[in-house]
Structure 1
Amino acid sequence: MRGVAALVLVAGLLTGCGSSSEEAGGPVEITWWHGQTELQAKVIEELAAEYGKAHPDVKITPAVGSTNVDEMLQKVQAVLAGGKAPDIAYMYGTWMPHLARTPKVYDLTATVKAPGFGWDDFWPAERAVSEVDGKVIGVPALVDNLAVIYNKKLFDAAGLAYPAKDWTWDDFRAAAKKLTGGGVYGTAYPVTGAEDTVWRFWPMIWQQGGSIAAPDGKKSAFNTPQAVQALDLWSAMARQDKSVYLDQNGEKFLPLFQSGKIGMVIAGPYALLDFIDHKIPYGVQVLPGYNGNHETVAGPDNWVVFDNGSRRAKAAADFLAWLTKPEQDARWSLGLGNLPIRRATTALPAYQKFVKDFPDIDVFTANLDNAKQARPHLPAYPEFSEKVGDAIAQAMVGGTPARDALAKAAIEADTVLGRSR
């Protein structure tokens, strides 16, 4: 969800992607809309050039224009309508169900199941996001997860022991309450109503054995006593304990943590680079749990291939098989401060340097084993999520009883799912 913000796209989105040399049997040309900022774009260009040197029959052309990742799906849909699409594009994981309905999306099942690809080496949450209705429609480009990052200095000042692996949500509440005071909040919650609000809530449902939606995707399943209990806890922390900084634009809580005004934040590994730069004495621990279950949520994003003819699609798929090998993953993921996308990468010397450069990042890597489920494959998930996000905000900010807020959200979410069928 998270570290790739600015996108560098192909100039002239509505221009064709083919070439006369390809049509004449020359090198196959692959257009790569990669979605990265300047630093990441440089690595992309280096990888594309390296692949092209080793494979002279393929020319990888990274993107060159500008937009942002949030608009990627919209931009791709625009060019698809004109019959001209990139060969590879960076796509958010929550878009996979929508893309699965797009005929031009290339099925990568044979690619990932081929000997030597090592599909089982990717964490289950990554594979679960990539596989929709029995087809693999993307391969992982980035993966993260949520854990608790805490300020050791503030814990020491409050006389609190650092969080243990077996801590509970009651422990979390008690710690937040003790950390609060003197201009410091124990913790924070982004209450924008967007996915940044919602994906922090889903693990609390999964930890109690609950679900988000029915298996057939026709009804919501989140409105349960367990979900009410979870939202009640956050509401009580915010409104009774006054231990939660309610971030209504979602952009203030991490800087406030950096300035020593918040004791704990639930965030992903993408936050660590700024904390390191600001010399924050932080630690990382898995999410609090219910009954020993510390399940978290991962946010995998994918490289998706579009079918512009069998030769180009096959070449694009082969390139992604190379790109996701441990050696390339070390340069692409670890080199930019992101988690490895596959287990084998952790055995490389580059991973040991990565852990040294990013203290406690290995807690996030290990925490991928706690990411056991994917958000439901619902084409209408973005709108479905908004209903839940609104309910969380209404309870924590407005004081609406959790029971009432979630009941209303379930009715609205069911309407959304009914329209999408």
Structure 2
Amino acid sequence: MKKLTTAFLVLFLVFAMAACSNSKSSGTNNAGGNGGSNGKTILRFATWDSGETLKIQQMIAKKFEEKNPNVKVQVEAYGDGFDQKLAASFGAKNPPDVMYMWNFPAYFQSLEPLDQLIKSDPDMDMNDFYQGLFNYSSMYGKLYGMPAGFTTRVVYYNKALFDAAGIPYPKDGWTWDDFKTIAKKLSNPSKKQYGFGVRPEPDTYDLQGFVWSNGSSYISEDGKKIAGYMNSPETIKSLKMFADMVKDKSAVLVGGKNQQSGDDIFKAGKIAMWESGIWPLEGFKEAKVNFGTVEMPAFSGKPVKGVIASSAVSIAKDSKNKDLAWKFVKFYSSPEAIKMRTADLPVRISVVKEMKTEQDPLISPFYKMLERSNDTPAFLLNKNWDDINRNLSAAVNAIMLGQDAEKQLNNAVKDSEKYIEK
């Protein structure tokens, strides 16, 4: 799964470049749904995955081919160049038929709405999906992508460090006051051991869960106001909390320039708690770390809220093979294909129950956080969020390095008001 960011594309420039190109993406066949050399219909599928996760996509494609012998699924691995290549293909009117998708505000006008396809397909049981995921692939009341995988965010904790200090393991329902107290007790700067790791340049998208949990948000629900939201006392407190922990040495900055990642430092037993999605879990197992997971802490008297990192599969509006594309999307969303995916969490309720996924104590907190993830991310609420987020990101990075949170967020709001008014 591609980790979510909020840096949108400068699409017009890419489109202009695409118009001057030969309309072929790197490594693609310009079949556009026509028959290939062996007489099979070519269906193009673009993904950002690489390595082992790419192999999973290729396995799913092969399984689809087995069920549809007259079809050849051409998996196009765009990797880190996914956004650029996808935008260029849209601009050249030669997009893949089906593609991974997350950045719906940037692309939805080039995608086929799925509502009618779903409505006319009695085999698609939409109630079997976790409903909160549809919020992340919808725009203006229309659905543009079927959920493929997701992760929420939890706290990983090192059981060995807790045991050595005689501290009980954290449990669901704990608070940020509990968290900070535990982090302080588990910090020993003389041994370069700290209670928590703080990213010096955190993704503002990921921080939204903390802000929502404290009763605020970056932007109003209608997407028309940031003053009093992005710089509210609750937002300030949510973000300043981590900088204060670094200042009092109960946390340490990790993953910055020339620094080890938080994942690696957690593996080394030098931070007791680490906040992340599902991505590092298998790596922690392979490293033989004795760890647990727990849902995020709450601000006193307020419900915990979470943010989802999700991926979906979408159909290009310019696809010449929409019926076949929908058939592939349906298969990709089927229990059979979902069970083949091991890099993220199942999106179907029936699969989770069958595989007893929720009964795994390491996985259970991710699904508990899914139940708490109903808020709409800021990038889906305002078309100019990319511009606004540049100012917010600069403010957040400064806050994590110890600069005045209120001043930084007030300046971010002031510098961003012009984009709200557009």
Q: Which amino acid aligns with 2:264?
A: P
Paired residues of 2:61 and 2:73 also in contact (CA < 8 A): yes
Alignment counterpart, residue 294 of structure 1, candidates 281, 289, 304 = 304
User: In 2, distance between residues paired with 1:11 and 1:240?
Assistant: 51
SS at match of 2:111: coil
Partner of 2:20: none
For the Cα contact (< 8 Å) 2:42–2:72, is it kept in 1? yes
The one-character-per-residue Cα deviations of 1:202-230 (angstroms, maximum 9, x if unpaired) are 11221133232123323323221111122
In 1, the alpha carbon distance for the partners of 2:129 and 2:391 equals 32
**2:347 matched residue in structure 1:** 341
Of 407-416 and 221-230, more deviation after overlay is shown by 407-416
- Which residue number in structure 1 is paired with residue 12 of structure 2? none
Contact 1:29 1:312 in 2 (8 A): no
Q: Secondary structure at the match of 2:26?
A: coil
Q: Give ranges in structure 1 of 5+ residues lacking alignment.
A: 5-9
1:245 aligned to 2:244? no
Q: How far, CA to CA, are the matches of 2:287 and 2:75 in structure 1?
A: 33
Check 1:85–1:176 CA distance in 2 against 1; reply closer, same or farther (3 A cut).
Answer: same
Unaligned segments of structure 2, at least 5 residues = 5-23
1:171 aligns with 2:185: no
Distance in 2, matches of 1:306 and 1:165, equals 42
What secondary structure, in the 3-state scheme, does the structure 1 residue paired with 2:253 have? strand
> Is 1:148–1:287's contact at 8 Å kept on the other side of the alignment?
yes
Tell me whether 1:393 sits opposite 2:397 in the alignment. Answer: yes
Is residue 15–residue 84 contact of structure 1 (8 Å, CA) maintained in 2?
Answer: no
Pairwise CA RMSD: 2.6
Q: Which residue of 1 aligns with 2:100?
A: 90
Aligned equivalents of 2:71, 2:212: Cα separation in 1: 44
- Give 1:99 shift: 0.9
Structure-1 residue corresponding to 2:168: 161
Q: Distance in 2 between matches of 1:107 and 1:300?
A: 18
> Aligned-pair distance for 1:260?
0.4
Distance, in Å, in 2 between the alignment partners of 1:417 and 1:170 is 35
| Residue number in structure 1 paired with 2:362 | 360
Matches within 5 A, 1:50-61: 50-61=63-74
How big is the shift at 1:255? 0.4
Amino acid at match of 2:268: S
Distance across 2 between alignment mates of 1:2 and 1:15: 24
Offset, 1:168: 0.7
The 1:273–1:382 alpha-carbon spacing in structure 2 relative to 1, beyond 3 Å, is farther
Contact 1:125 1:374 (8 Å CA) reproduced = no
TM-score normalised according to structure 1 size: 0.85
In the alignment, the residues of structure 1 paired with residue 122 and residue 415 of structure 2 have an alpha-carbon distance, to the nearest angstrom, of: 45
**Residue number in structure 1 paired with 2:407:** 404
Rounded to whole Å, the distance in 2 between the matches of 1:50 and 1:56 is 10
AA matched with 2:111: V
Letter in 1 for 2:85: K
Change (3 A) 1:312 1:38: same
1:142 & 1:382 partners in 2: Cα distance?
24
- The equivalent position to 1:119 in structure 2, one of 123, 126, 137, is 126
Q: Match for residue 21 of structure 1?
A: 35
How far 1:122 moved relative to its partner?
Answer: 2.3
Relative to structure 1, the CA distance from residue 395 to residue 19 in structure 2 (aligned partners, 3 Å threshold; closer, same or farther) is closer
Aligned to 1:135: 142
Deviations 1:133-156 (A, max 9, x none): 111111122200111000011111
SS at match of 2:151: coil
**Counterparts of 2:351 and 2:164, CA distance in 1:** 38
Give the whole-Å Cα distance in 2 for the aligned partners of 1:14 and 1:383. Answer: 32
Q: Distance in 1 between matches of 2:218 and 2:127?
A: 26
Separation in structure 1 between the aligned mates of residue 254 and residue 124 of structure 2, nearest angstrom: 44
Segments ≥4 residues shifted beyond 6 Å: none
Letter in 1 for 2:53: Q
Q: Give the length in aligned residue pairs.
A: 393
What fraction of aligned residue pairs are identical, expressed as a percent?
Answer: 23
Counterpart in the other structure of 2:14: none
Deviations 1:169-225 (A, max 9, x none): 111111111111021011012122xxx432342112211332321233233232211
Which of residues 218, 228, 251 is equivalent to 1:212?
Answer: 218
| C-alpha spacing 1:169/1:294, structure 2 compared with 1 (3 Å) | same
**CA distances 1:255-297 after superposition (whole Å, capped 9, x unpaired):** 0010001010110111111100100011100000122512111
